Amino acid sequence: MELAGRSPETLGSLRSEILDWVSTVPYANNHRRIKRSRLTRTGEWIFTKEEFRNWRSSSESMLLLLRGIRKPAQPFPRNAFVLPVRLAGAGKTYIISSVIDSCRRNSSDGLAHFYCDRAEKSRRDPETILSTLVRQLAERPFEKKFLQPVVDVYTRREKEQRKTSRLSLTESQELLIRLADKHSATIICIDALDEVDPKVQVKLFGVLKDVVKRSKNLVKVFATTRMDTVVDLQFETTLVLKPEDNENDINYFVRSKVRSMIDDGLLLDGIVDCGLETEIIDAVCARSMGTWVHYEHFEYGWT
């Protein structure tokens, strides 16, 4: 099936059909949701890190892993105001969303991303992850050369009457290489590799490394993970996130959240003087120790 000579209407309909066959994961919505919840300038400190700058500017294909590190939360001091919170991760998802936006703004390279999530089957499965990356690299609307490799696989599946099954791991691997060869450079960003099904994690790593190795053009992979030895060993360069790296991000988030809750009357009915507001902010920031905080519920009192 050739795309040349088709009318814009026919081509548009065929393009949508084929791309939806490749993947229906709402990757753009996932990114927009994270971006909306990300405060201005959050995660931008990573652009000053030597390891990241080397990865971004290198003329060689390479993989870079950002690894979070957990530290035990600090207890609130005695007689301090207690604001119960749930400690989340180190903000790696916000960081990678900043990287994705930066790459999109500052480059015409091929760009594909994926946010893994163990709570959703489709977002922890290597086949789905890879096929979603394929879709993104193939879907430039006005450049048929990027779609043609996928059309070739789709046509073969039609002839074999196997169109109902999705792309296999091997098919996605070969397509990623073919698509990377059509882009002058390709950037792949994957968040939370540790949330991929551990039984098949190694298959995903194998494909990513093979794409980097076999592509004729530049391919760069940036990924994040919690502390995970299996993931760590797969990457040649690891940037370890330290508590002090995102301290300003977290402090800014806590100040903004506490202030908005006071303004909305959700914190002590909004009756909070400046001194108490500062005390609450300092207590939560001290307890976070480089770990993002998510507010689930509030109970107030003195210990």
Beta strand ranges found along 101-256 (DSSP E): 110-115, 185-191, 218-225, 237-240
**For position 191, what pLDDT does the model report?**
96
Q: Which two tokens stand for residue 95?
A: 């960081």
Q: Reply yes or no on whether the pLDDT at 298 is more than 50.
A: no
Evaluate whether the domain defined by 8-72+90-240 bears CATH number 3.40.640.10: no
Q: Reply yes or no on whether the pLDDT at 108 is more than 70.
A: yes
**For position 33, what pLDDT does the model report?**
95
Rounded Cα distance, 196 and 194, in Å: 6
DSSP H or E stretch at residue 122: none
Calculate the CA 51 to chain-centre distance: 18
pLDDT tens digits along 145-197: 788 899 899 989 888 888 778 899 999 999 999 999 999 999 999 999 999 99
pLDDT tens digits along 190-240: 999 999 998 899 999 999 999 999 999 999 999 999 877 788 888 877 787
Tell me if 290 sits within 8 A of 73, measured CB to CB. no
Q: Name the DSSP class of 109.
A: S
DSSP H or E stretch at residue 112: strand 110-115
Q: Reply yes or no on whether the pLDDT at 250 is more than 80.
A: no
**For position 186, what pLDDT does the model report?**
95
Angle (CA) 229 122 55, round 5°: 45
- Domain locations in the chain as residue ranges: 8-72+90-240
Rounded Cα distance, 172 and 135, in Å: 10
Percent of the chain with pLDDT over 90: 43
Q: Reply yes or no on whether the pLDDT at 143 is more than 90.
A: no
Tell me if 196 sits within 8 A of 162, measured CB to CB. no
Residue reference for tokens 């939560």:
284
DSSP H or E stretch at residue 9: helix 8-22
The chain-wide mean pLDDT, for the chain, equals 81
For the entire predicted model, the pTM comes to 0.78
Mean pLDDT (whole number) for 52-68: 92
